[in-house]
Amino acid sequence: MMKRNANVKPISVRLAELAAESPDHPAIVEVTAGGTYKEISYRRFVDEVSELAELFRTWAAGGDTVICHPATVSAASAKIVLAALCAGVTILPHSPQLEGETLSEALDNAGIDPRTRSVQVPGTSISGGDSAAVVHLSRWSRETGEQRPRYLLATSGSTGIPKIVPFWDFGSYDPRTVPDLVFRACGWQSGQKQLLTLPIYHIGTVAALVQGVLDGNQLFLANRLDPEDLLTAISECRIEWLMLTPNYLRSLLPAAERHPERLSSLRGLLHTALPCPAPLKHAWLGLLGGERLFEMYGGTEGVGVTVISGSEWLAKPGSVGRGLLTEIRIGDPQGQERVEDGIGRIYLRRLGGSARDRSATPWLQSTSDGFVSLGDMGWVDEDGYLYVFDRAANRAATATGVAWLGRLSLVLRTHPDILDAECIALPGAGDGETGVLLVPRDPVAGFDLSEVQRFCAAQLDGQELPRTCLRVDGIPRSEIGKPDAVAIKAIFNSARTGGSS
């Protein structure tokens, strides 16, 4: 579906154009387990978004309303997000797990009244059910800038209370920036068949949802499909583009290796959010080739981004790419640029960023000239390719030296008998003791712990080897796969209380 002109226009006008061009063409298709498909035409989708936008304007008549929505991968959530953008009402799509006191504290920290009023949104039954989607109406409790953000997103909050990040884009439709340069670099084509399966409160998925609708794509929404059903949907719907995380890639790999022909329609698969173990990356490169697999590095705070294609990765294994409209600096903890070789803190500066952008994320370390760190350590090679070594917070001092916990977790995940692993510094253990949760690939056969230790010793220094190992059925993670450090520490504390190790 080609764009007719290059004029910037309100989102509502762009949606009306799409409905007029192809009123009966499916705009949204909900995919459920067992191969059930529920289509929503452009005419119906735009009509329902317009009705919701008018309702949201009524709710926000005072001008200070924030719509907090526990979003799912559904047509209901897609309509709510688009309607809020059309109405110019600030929306916070967030994880359904972010609720109660945790949500209240996150809102309060962001200058939003933590007292919310729950409202059911008419016309938003989820997957054909009787219950309507819910939003929570709140109020700004203090000024946060000259212009209200268009939308808000919550950081993962894996180590505590999530932080709320404001965004001012998607105020209108501009064909020069939809799709954006990141998506253009990763196999996106206008009018494509696009699959969304990551949560609609993740920065990449929100961008893919909004830009996909505005760019005339046909969006397939797949919520919590098992690997076989997801692979079947990709094949039957002839999906051309999608985003996944390494956790999704790992769970989907066995089915994909059994049926590689089901991936033939894919033109672009972009993975993001977490480090990808090299064996997993190689496996997917074997399935898709270097021209169809892409990787993006960035953060919810939107301070910059790097992109790398599969072909580039084969030439630069382990890299997350070069900056895309982003400058990279490797510096010391104070942000001063390092002139010697070695690992330092990664700082990014988005070209065209403003002081307001940086002040919106005060919890991130920044420099006086506009570089911001997401908290990762790494280096840049002579060709400008960035390599992420680990999170700065994963540096743990042990009795015999420094251990990098994220690096240990990655190594463990490459062991043939380990399905998943996550390492932490054990609280109150003394001498910087580390502990690791291990999920066996085969629950019956399990794994030989001494052999796992030897496997790690061949790749890591002695002080980095795990001291305490617990076998578990699963590791607490967010929907996109980020570890829940609070829950993981609770598992170790419980094991200690029970005398396990």
Separation between Cα atoms, residue 74 and residue 95, nearest integer Å: 13
Q: pLDDT tens, position by position, for the chain (501 residues)? A: 444 455 899 999 999 999 999 999 999 999 988 778 999 999 999 999 999 999 999 988 777 889 999 999 999 999 999 999 999 999 999 998 888 888 899 999 888 888 888 888 887 765 545 556 778 888 776 555 557 889 999 988 766 789 999 998 888 999 999 999 999 999 999 999 999 999 999 999 999 999 999 999 999 999 889 999 999 999 999 999 999 999 999 999 999 999 999 999 999 999 998 889 999 999 999 999 999 999 999 988 888 999 999 999 999 999 999 999 999 999 887 667 765 557 899 999 988 755 445 667 888 888 888 899 999 999 999 999 999 999 988 888 777 778 888 988 989 998 999 999 999 887 655 556 778 999 998 988 889 988 988 898 888 877 677 778 899 999 998 888 888 888 888 898 888 776 544
Separation between Cα atoms, residue 239 and residue 422, nearest integer Å: 33
Q: Could you tell me the strand order of the sheet in which 434-440 lies?
A: 418-425, 434-440, 468-471
- The residues pairing with 331 across neighbouring beta strands, listed in sequence order, are 337, 345
C-beta separation of 86 from 76 below 8 A: no
Q: Which residue has the tokens 């790494």?
A: 378
DSSP structure string for 10-71: -HHHHHHHHHHHSTTSEEEEEEETTTEEEEEEHHHHHHHHHHHHHHHHHHTTTS-EEEEEE-
- The alpha helices in 316-362, defined as continuous H runs, are 355-359
β pairing state of 218-222 and 193-196 = parallel
C-beta separation of 29 from 237 below 8 A: yes
